[in-house]
Amino acid sequence: MSPAGPADRAGTAVELAAAVRSGERSAAEVLEESLAGIEAADGVVRAFNHVMAEEARATASDIDRRVAKGEDPGPLVGVPVALKDNLCTRGVPTTCSSRILEGWRPPYDATVVERLRAAGAIAVGKTNLDEFAMGSSTENSAFGATRNPCDPTRVPGGSSGGSAAAVAAGFTPLALGSDTGGSIRQPAALCGVVGVKPTYGRVSRYGLVAFASSLDQIGPFARTVADSAVLLEVIAGHDPHDATSIPEAVPSLSADLDGGVEGLRVGLVGELMAEGIAPDVAARTREAADALAAAGATVEEASVPAAIFGLSAYYLIAPAEASSNLARFDGVRYGLRVDAPTTAEMMVATRTAGFGAEVKRRIMLGTYALSAGYYDAYYGKAQRVRTLIARDFAAAYQRFDVLLAPTSPTTAFPLGDKTADPMAMYMNDVCTIPSNLSGEPAISVPFGTGDDGLPVGVQVLAPALEEARMFRVAAALEAAGGGGGVDPLGASR
């Protein structure tokens, strides 16, 4: 297997789009390279649940016709993009990596899918995930685990592990994932790519199959900070179909990427550098802080005291919302149905057969937290903790322009290493969950490798709607020597 995928040969997504726009390359040629890469290596990586080859070829042909006529189909013209398989795609199987959605083909596109198409991008397939986005390793999938392209014996992270792996392996230059408690940033860190969780409401959730509605957010995966900025510009913006969508216009996120960090105040979050963070990950994070200081930023220790309660609050709020959202999967309207003598028995049999162990665990936990007599003691208290976390972040941002932290406590761990211990698996999100609870943006940028030679991700966190500032700091980290240091499918750089 060649370690160089089509994304590596084509350059960045921005460069690829420019080549297609100018006629130097055809969209059809670029697409065939992407499909060939998937055909050659996805048998090992297993990033995709479904490859949309014929649909993609039709889109590429249309793009080439438009370019030949002198049209500009958009900022991502001809760029292959992978879609997490919880994003509705009209007429294409959308499974959430669950048996319970067996055979379901949505009658509409998610807003982000529509916006990608309007920008000239080519959707090439639907990527694997932890079932209904519940997991941190992409091992909780009805279709089997995805493998990390940097080391196929390791997990790619989760829940958007398929999307992260697709970009890391060079199958596509860009991908979309969803981030409820770190499900974009954590796999980005483990696979050595860039992953972005925008401000809650910055990107429409219309057409995203809901896990926890007050936490879910769609965002980009890319090999570079610049590519991720362009992709976010394309998918962001108000959508009347989403009641939580922010009406404010989206500023240019690409214009000031080279602006540097001179004069910016950066806070290194002490609570996210504490117990449980591997020494090599902590070391890379401090090196990232030093790099920003060398580039002209003022770097000091910061404190977000309530962040230490983030994991506990999240694993009450998210399962509670999941138990409500997943009640619709009952064998009546769509997807799997297991026949039984009565309607009630059919629903029980369908949900028993259709949901995996982790989804059942969270539904039961969430239903318990919402039940009479326990609501105030568990769910209500978790929501109060969420408010405390938001207040502590607000206080920190009075002193600092951005915050810095590790993305994941460790580098990628071996497949099967934590599947028997749910708490050990949940701890993988300890650094990412706080910004989901506060609703603020964060980006994971590759910054060197751990002692095992695998990528380390460093996280830049910013106040709500300050993505432009966040991207500027991320670009400075990238320029300072970031990067996973590992090529796809196990080859060293």
CA–CA gap between residue 464 and residue 244 (Å, rounded): 14
Nearest residue to 143 via CA among 131, 155, 160, 133: 131
DSSP letter string over 80-114?
Answer: EEEEETTB--TTS---TT-GGGTT---SS--HHHH
How many C-beta atoms surround the C-beta of residue 4 within 10 A? 14
CA–CA gap between residue 146 and residue 44 (Å, rounded): 8
Catalytic residue, from 183, 228, 245, 435: name it: 183
455-461 and 402-406 strand pairing: antiparallel
CA distances from residue 135 to 120, 274, 315, 472, 478 in whole angstroms, order as listed: 32, 23, 12, 30, 28
CA distances from residue 377 to 386, 434, 436 in whole angstroms, order as listed: 14, 21, 22
DSSP state of 153: T
Q: With both helix axes pointing from N to C terminus, report the angle between 27-45 and 53-68 in degrees, rounded to the nearest 10.
A: 160
Does the annotation count 183 as an active-site position?
Answer: yes
Catalytic residue, from 98, 137, 159, 438: name it: 159
Does the annotation count 84 as an active-site position?
Answer: yes
Sign for the pseudo-dihedral over CA of 448, 449, 455, 459: negative
DSSP state of 138: S
- Written in H, E and C, the secondary structure of 300-313 is EEECCHHHHHHHHH
CA–CA gap between residue 169 and residue 174 (Å, rounded): 11
The percent helix, strand, coil of the chain (3-state, each to 5) is 45, 15, 40
Helices (H) and strands (E) in the chain, counts: 16, 11
Catalytic residue, from 84, 126, 197, 418: name it: 84
Which residues have C-beta within 8 Å of that of residue 322, sequence separation ≥ 6? 132, 134, 211, 212, 359, 362, 363, 366
Side chain identity at 51, as an amino acid letter? V
Which residues have C-beta within 8 Å of that of residue 60, sequence separation ≥ 6? 26, 27, 28, 30, 31, 78, 122
Coil, helix or strand at residue 435? helix
Side chain identity at 371, as an amino acid letter? S
Residue positions annotated with a catalytic role: 84, 159, 183
